[in-house]
Structure 1
């Protein structure tokens, strides 16, 4: 019998200060933790080996300071690992080849550890990031969902905007990195009127949604069956636009919404989810999106601390009951 204590494997980049909050808690609990950024560390001294044979699967992760038996990983926290770009000493197609082999090879090993509890599994994360999949799962889970159109057809957008009872908003289906004059640029949620729609819609699918006449926003951070609600009051349609102007206060989550959150997490095989809602004056909660790997440490200290504790609990318990 192997008496070596099992470890938590954290996959994230070295600049992830949010992860540090949870790692400090695990250290206080004397839980063994190995931190790895596979997209970069496997080119700077770390190695990963996996062996598959009849009735057996084994593997070893070696870093400059640690050697980890992959059968002794209790939990894997998939936070914010760097993308696989290949060794910096290679160029062109050689670097691209190495990057893709790393993505499919190392990524496949780390996503298939026997008995490990994933928060969240990387494949579940990826599947849950598709906005159309989110909207479909939200409807099936019983959430109120604003009427939404995703299309690259200009006339369909004009018809949608024309028949809308109120305003229509546009939001990207993916947060693509964008630069203007070599400066980072974000595409925020904004109102759109029918006369503003042009043939540029045909370039790619666009997401248009009936604007919710909200009184405030709510972020609900779900960790397993524990929910942490934060009311967000902002002067902007998209509260992320000027985050320094928002006011955050703890809020409770209505029971029907909590039931829908549990159904949504189960449907998409998630342990963690950052849910955004628009709440109207009459108390209706409209589902906007769920980021399966959303940031959470920007919230008030008491909420941030509670979320960190809940994540540490998940990682410490592993796949046990």
Structure 2
């Protein structure tokens, strides 16, 4: 009998969410090869041949090995970037690019492999303008949104569509006074929108008058919905201790557009966030193609770990 095909798990060592999934795959006797991009090339080696038989070769960590032409699925979580600390700045930059387009390119080209999610699909789906445009095209209710670097246009939008919130277009490390800070979603007034807006792109959006929020985690063709009650917080991530969670049925009107959204971006997994109006209407806010979900399982008992393990174990079979 042939050896069972492995699942590759690409993430950093301290990824607790990946730990949970790997433990479940181990319980099922599904072979797992876990590694982090930052381990290349010191603790990670590969060779790939591409020819008439397509792509084949092998990948080796300190303890495991995988045949690149026989990978069941790849779970792409949150790996650290490539790093070459022993090289000077110019050589390190060259080495990082070669690693990204060489090793990274091979990982993105595995035959007959199910990606959860493909790293290129994740990158495409992280652009908020694309998310909102696709959501509107698929029939989701989407709040009026302006993306601009024109101060006067921003002030006009805020006056006409207020109350409005500011949202960063991309999360990034930010430090103030030597301490890490988070740029939260926050309500803004027209007179706060000064000339500094001209310095870069900003996203402003009508503040949905929500009674609660809904997180829908899509794993393959299965949907897991949790209602999040957050009190008066505009950004519910601001205070997790103030949140309450309820396992709920997915609104029937969301099933088809969520499936179409995943297909449009080539995703097998996504965390959808909606604001719930008083009449129950879900308003699309965003979809994180690599979002966190395990804490919702802890809070509600919804079995998302098993669903994700099912998907990875099944692969493209």
State the TM bucket, normalised to the shorter chain.
Answer: over 0.9
CA distance in 2, matches of 1:192, 1:214: 17
Q: For residue 146 of structure 2, what is the aligned residue in structure 1?
A: 149
> Which residue does the alignment assign to 2:101?
104
Alpha-carbon offset, residue 141 of structure 1: 1.5
TM-score, structure 1 as length reference? 0.96
Tell me if 1:234 matches 2:233. no
Q: Distance in 1 between matches of 2:172 and 2:314?
A: 35
- Secondary structure of 1:4's aligned partner: coil
Paired residues of 1:228 and 1:303 also in contact (CA < 8 A) = no
1:250 counterpart residue number:
247
Aligned pairs for 1:1-321 within 5 A: 3-38=2-37, 40-85=38-83, 87-164=84-161, 166-235=162-231, 236-301=233-298, 303=300, 306-320=303-317
TM-score by length of 2: 0.97
Q: Is the 8 A contact 2:55 2:68 kept in 1?
A: no
- For residues 150 and 5 of structure 1, the distance between their equivalents in structure 2, rounded to whole angstroms, comes to 49
Q: Residues 89-128 of structure 1, C-alpha deviation per residue, up to 9 Å, x if partnerless?
A: 1121111111111111111000100110000011000000
Quote the offset at 1:244 in angstroms.
1.6
Q: Aligned pair in 2 of structure 1 residues 237, 56: CA closer, same or farther (>3 Å)?
A: closer
Shift, 1:170, TM fit: 0.4
> CA offset at residue 256 of structure 1?
0.8
Conserved 8 A contact 1:42-1:48? no
Task: Verify the 8 A CA contact 1:298 1:304 in the aligned structure 2.
Answer: no
Figure out how many residues of one structure are paired with residues of the other and give that number: 316
Counterparts of 2:54 and 2:139, CA distance in 1: 42
After superposition, the CA RMSD in angstroms is 1.3
Q: Which runs of 5+ in 2 are unaligned?
A: none
* Native 8 Å contact 2:246 2:300 kept in 1: no
8 Å contact from structure 2 (residues 168, 183) kept in 1 = yes
CA deviation string 1:205-237 (max 9, x = no partner): 100000101000111111011111111111311
Q: Give yes or no for contact 2:135–2:142 (8 Å, CA) kept in 1.
A: yes
1:7, 1:33 within 8 Å by CA — same for their partners in 2? Answer: yes
- Asked if structure 2 preserves the Cα contact closer than 8 Å seen for 1:248 and 1:300, the reply is no
Partner Cα separation in structure 2 for residue 301 and residue 238 of structure 1: 21
Alignment partners' CA distance in 2, 1:118 and 1:303:
27
Q: Is the 8 A contact 2:40 2:82 kept in 1?
A: no
Residues 305 and 281 (structure 1), Cα distance of their counterparts in 2 relative to 1, 3 Å cut: closer
Task: Give runs of ≥4 in structure 1 deviating > 3 Å.
Answer: 302-305
How far apart are the structure 2 equivalents of 1:243 and 1:7? Answer: 36
State the secondary structure of the residue aligned to 1:124: helix
